[in-house]
Chain A
Amino acid sequence: EALPTKLEISGTTTALLYLDKFGYMNSTATNPENGALLSEAAVRQAILDFQAFAGLNQTGNLDQETVEMMNRPRCGNRDIIGHGPNTRRRKR
């Protein structure tokens, strides 16, 4: 059986999936998986939040160092907790 493969961050779409997975997209209205329209401001804020958390220059743009950081191996837990599927996980 084929295993899931690593999400390679290469552009806005994959970056938004990453930001959503790790808790930076804080509203269902900005969820890239449900087809809802994304406001430019919400996307920029999510990128800014990630850059701040990762200690990068806070440009709000998906620049090279931001993409490189998103592609680094990491823990699968969320950075920002409080919403999303991860918080509903149960042990058994």
Chain B
Amino acid sequence: YALQGSRWRVRDLTYQISKYPTGLKASDVDEEVANAFKVWEDVSNLTFRPTTTGKVHIDIRFEKGEHGDGDPFDGRGGTLAHAYFPIYGGDAHFDDTEQWTIDSFAGTNLFQVAAHEFGHSLGLSHSDVRSALMAPFYRGYERNFELDDDDTRAIQALYGKRESPSQSTPSRVPTAATTRRPSTGAGTAGVLCSDASVDTIVTMADKNTYVFKGSQYWLLTDSSTAPGYPRSTTADWGGLPGNLDAAFTWSNGKTYFLKGSEYWRFSNMTMDPGYPKPISKGFAGIPDNVDSAFVWSGNGKIYFFKNDKYWRFEPTARPPVGAKYPKDVSNWEGIPNNIDAALQYSNGFTYFFKDGMYWRFNDRTFRIDTADPPFPRPAGYWWFGCE
């Protein structure tokens, strides 16, 4: 960790949100900001209190572009926020053009970014420990956020350890939906209802989820398939063939489809130039004819499944597939061999599909979720709107 060199002389700090974001309810922002302060309050001898009157220690604002401090925000992406060290006032500014979200893999998680910025407000600089909250790069939503030891040591170096139990609200509990809604039976699934096995399912960067089977595809709604489907895969996806093997959307927003020894890359529903390419070129170490692929929320890496084996692919590593791979699918407790499809859905859970049934994986217990009714469940009823 790194300390900037200044700190607050007092231990009881006040804050206010003087300008709220345009995309969230004020009460939700209040709660997330309080949760972010509590991250530091839990491990240090500091307390934080919101106030709407008088002078405060830390002023919080959501602003666009140039906002008076000579350090303009740059629109969506790029710089998300910045904050001043104690000697410069401690204020925290967030780019209001970002899509700030709460308990969602979409957009940018307000809680995590706020907790990071408040670290600056308290005197912490950026850490070169990648797992630290004070690392400068946004890692995506982490459903089970935990402060790194590096961060704890940093804040305690400035303010000491907590001497009495934290008085504020209990630790945050994610409120994201945990269960896919059962279908209403009013969908357009057709052939999916007579045989609910699928080739692949993928959620795109725009959060639309598509099911591919044979030469057709369907757009999913929350509990069924959308009107107007199925449609032709080849006609709507720029010549993409049917009978796909696997698909996934990576953190760069691109969606990749695999079939046989080739893969295709899409920006939304438009195929990028130069595709298809050989899997051996783009995904060195991954075999042809995979069963499925998905990006796991636990670490952001791409997992490829084939028969009773799986491979973990880390694009920025050299080599991208470690020497320990492939490993046995049985390491994923409860997941069968030879799966048809897998995806991480918008509620953050990873789902596996085989022979018309599906399983929901719990990445905290690292096994299939226990639920009523139990998994596997029929995909036709729960996903495709079949009676």
Binding site for B on A (CB under 8 A): 1, 3-7, 22, 52-57, 65, 68-69, 72-79, 81, 85-86, 89-92
Contacts and interface: CB of A to CB of B under 8 A. Distances in A.
Nearest to B93: A76
Interface residues of B, number: 41
B146 interface: no
B318 interface: yes
Interface of B: 4, 59, 64-66, 69-84, 88-91, 97, 108, 113, 116-117, 120, 125-126, 128, 130, 136-138, 252, 316, 318
Contacts of A65: 316
A75 B82 contact: yes
Contact of A79 (B59, B72, B136): B136
B128 A53 contact: yes
A91 B72 CA distance: 15
Contact of B81 (A4, A55, A76, A92): A76
A73 B135 CA distance: 12
A38 B136 CA distance: 26
Given A6-B77, A52-B128, A75-B117, A89 B71 contact: yes
Given A77-B83, A91-B91, A86 B72 contact: no
Contacts of B83: 77
Given A3-B65, A4-B66, A52-B128, A89 B84 contact: yes
A44 to B, nearest CB: 19
A86 B113 CA distance: 19
Nearest to A18: B78
A76 B137 contact: no
